[in-house]
A and B are shown apart, each in its own frame.
Chain A
């Protein structure tokens, strides 16, 4: 199976702009999670989507949002970009079941490197 794909791989934006990142999960996976990775804060959970519904959200401001489509592809959006939003944004998919089995492994994509100038 093809792995998790993320587009674009690199992005440069200026402060105040907004950005949309895309993630295509492994075929058959219905759960998509997003993480932000920075040198200072490490890996931090943003949110998780399952069957087009947000199931869990991390401690990020409302400028960070996401959605999931019926084909399980997911997008995340960051509005009014700040310098501190520069990071590697990682998407992970898993074959979580509707009952919410927590044993499922999350498989990560290569990430989108966002630079805010």
Chain B
């Protein structure tokens, strides 16, 4: 079974400071990892994904994430936070070891990011 943990329910950061939203995962095979963002009363918006290759993945709106296989982590980062980054962030995993037929995404509980002006 696959699982995702986002250890922080809420992260507060001052505008202009770097931000990190943490994510750890557990899969039986190799993971495909995703970050999504959700604004109030909206669906999930894709930010970035890790499939294979370079451990540092760059995504939309200046976000990036670092895949660390030994620590089974995929933390989301941004060098300089904006007030408009305030939202709910979800990490998700798909276990490719479950076969091509397994298209299910397993999500973490989400982390609320608040960027303080």
Partner-contacting stretch, out of B10-18, B76-84, B98-106: B98-106
B: contact size bracket: 20 to 34
B107 to A43, Cβ gap below 8 A? yes
Q: How far is the CA of A94 from the CA of B94 in the complex (A)?
A: 14
A-B contact pairs, 30 of them (CB 8 A): A31-B103, A33-B103, A33-B104, A33-B105, A42-B108, A42-B110, A43-B92, A45-B104, A45-B106, A48-B103, A55-B101, A56-B102, A56-B103, A90-B44, A99-B100, A100-B100, A100-B103, A102-B32, A102-B96, A103-B49, A105-B46, A106-B34, A106-B105, A108-B44, A108-B46, A110-B41, A110-B42, A110-B43, A111-B43, A113-B41
Query: In the assembled complex, which residues on chain A have CB atoms less than 8 Å from the CB atom of B28?
Result: none
B103 to A102, Cβ gap below 8 A? yes
A42 to B103, Cβ gap below 8 A? no
A80-98 Cβ-contact flags toward B at 8 Å (1 or 0)? 0000000000101010100
Beyond A108-B46, A111-B42, list 4 extra A-B contacts (CB 8 Å). A31-B103, A33-B104, A92-B105, A106-B105
Which of A48, A50, A90 meets B43, CB within 8 Å? A90
Query: In the assembled complex, which residues on chain A have CB atoms less than 8 Å from the CB atom of B107?
Result: 35, 42-43
A: contact size bracket: 20 to 34
Query: In the assembled complex, which residues on chain B have CB atoms less than 8 Å from the CB atom of A4?
Result: 43
B94 to A105, Cβ gap below 8 A? no
A96 to B43, Cβ gap below 8 A? no
A54-81 interface (Cβ within 8 A of B): 55-56, 58
Closest A residue to B108 using CB positions = A42
Q: How far is the CA of A55 from the CA of B103 in the complex (A)?
A: 8
B2-50 interface (Cβ within 8 A of A): 32, 34, 36, 41-46, 49
B42 to A105, Cβ gap below 8 A? no
B75 at the A/B interface (Cβ < 8 Å)?
A: no
Task: Give min CB distance, B58 to chain A, whole Å.
Answer: 15
Given contacts A90-B43, A90-B44, contact A45 B105 (CB under 8 A): yes
Q: How far is the CA of A63 from the CA of B99 in the complex (A)?
A: 27
